[in-house]
Amino acid sequence: MFKGSFVALITPFRRDGKIDEKAFQSFVDWQIREGTDALVPVGTTGESPTLSHAEHKRVVELCIEAAKGRRPVIAGAGSNSTDEAIELTKHAKKAGADAVLSVTPYYNKPTQDGMYAHFKAIAECADIPVIIYNIPPRSVVDMTVQTMARLAKIKNIVGVKDSTADLARPTRTKLACGDKFSMLSGEDGTALAFLASGGHGCISVTGNVAPKLCAEMHKAWAKGDIKTAQRINETLMPLHEALFCETSPAPVKYAANLLGLCEDAVRLPMVAASENARQRVREAMSGVGLLNEGARQRKAG
């Protein structure tokens, strides 16, 4: 079962618009050293919509290479085209990923039967665990618990990244899909409440810049240290909010830039965080103590 603190990795770009491979692999190594439990490249936070297929595959390969088996790699492999999703899933398997994250088809708005057929075809194309990514705000469609329960009967469909913000959903999903079905939150602000409702972990945006704190919160929860988990959650909440004050990943890329991890460049139609957003991010990171920590890390490096 997949559980703990996962990070939806940003994809660093150079100022010329190309992927910064060196910065990305250094970032992966830093994530592991900070305690992140699993790595999730080329999801929404990794700007997968504006990566070419060749770039997408390259980022997956770079992540697996840098991880060196130290942490599981769950490769983003979704598409609103079933054929494209199958292609990316087969590549992830061949490259050595431990699982794939596959989003509900966006824009073309399939029915529940259409989503079932889509994910069944993906699961059958390669012998690799599949985690369904249910994110109605971006995909428009919402996979029902009943459809997910049908899919959970397929051997290698093993879990869900739930970005519905419905805190009744994990309990309903557990009852429908069973105890072995991994339930991962896709929303930092409600991650702890998601755990309390039966969830197993979180695929985090905030973890890009506060991996140690995110990991410590999950470890505290797993140990039954509820007070520590609550304290960390309260500490991180202003940062969660700041990182989504504008469309992600522009704010979190700016936050990573403040830590000296990469440039804050994004690809059109995304634009860099506004000055107002930058101020909110700086204030939140200062409040958590991350800017001072980042300065120490850069000096030590």
Which one of 161, 174, 253, 254 is the catalytic residue? 161
Answer yes or no: is 38 within a domain.
Answer: yes
Share of the chain above pLDDT 70, in %: 97
Which one of 93, 116, 133, 254 is the catalytic residue? 133
Answer yes or no: is 109 within a domain.
Answer: yes
Mean pLDDT, residues 142-148: 98
Please provide the average confidence, as pLDDT, over all residues in the chain.
96
CATH number at residue 45: 3.20.20.70
Q: How far apart are CA 188 and CA 26, in angstroms?
A: 24
Cis status of the peptide bond prior to 269, with omega within 30 of 0: yes
Answer yes or no: is 152 within a domain.
Answer: yes
Answer yes or no: is 251 within a domain.
Answer: no
Check: CB of residue 37 under 8 Å from CB of residue 73.
no
pLDDT value at residue 299: 34
Check: CB of residue 177 under 8 Å from CB of residue 131.
no
Which domain range does residue 155 map to?
4-223
pLDDT value at residue 293: 57
Answer yes or no: is 144 within a domain.
Answer: yes
Mean pLDDT, residues 164-172: 96
pLDDT over threshold 80, residue 296: no
Q: Is 161 a catalytic residue?
A: yes
Note every long-range contact of 18-21, with CB atoms under 8 Å and residues 24 or more positions apart, other chains counting.
Answer: 19/55, 19/58, 19/59, 20/262, 20/263, 21/58, 21/62
pLDDT over threshold 80, residue 292: no
Answer yes or no: is 135 within a domain.
Answer: yes
Q: How many domains would you assign to the chain?
A: 1
Alpha helix segments (H runs only) across 111-249: 112-125, 136-139, 145-152, 169-177, 191-196, 211-223, 226-242
Q: Is 254 a catalytic residue?
A: no
DSSP 1: -
pLDDT value at residue 84: 98
pLDDT over threshold 70, residue 89: yes
User: What is the per-residue pLDDT across 25-65, written as a single tens digit (0 to 9) for each?
Assistant: 999 999 999 999 999 999 999 999 999 999 999 999 999 99
User: What is the per-residue pLDDT across 108-128, written as a single tens digit (0 to 9) for each?
Assistant: 999 999 999 999 999 999 999
pLDDT over threshold 80, residue 262: yes
Answer yes or no: is 180 within a domain.
Answer: yes
Answer yes or no: is 53 within a domain.
Answer: yes
Mean pLDDT, residues 175-196: 98
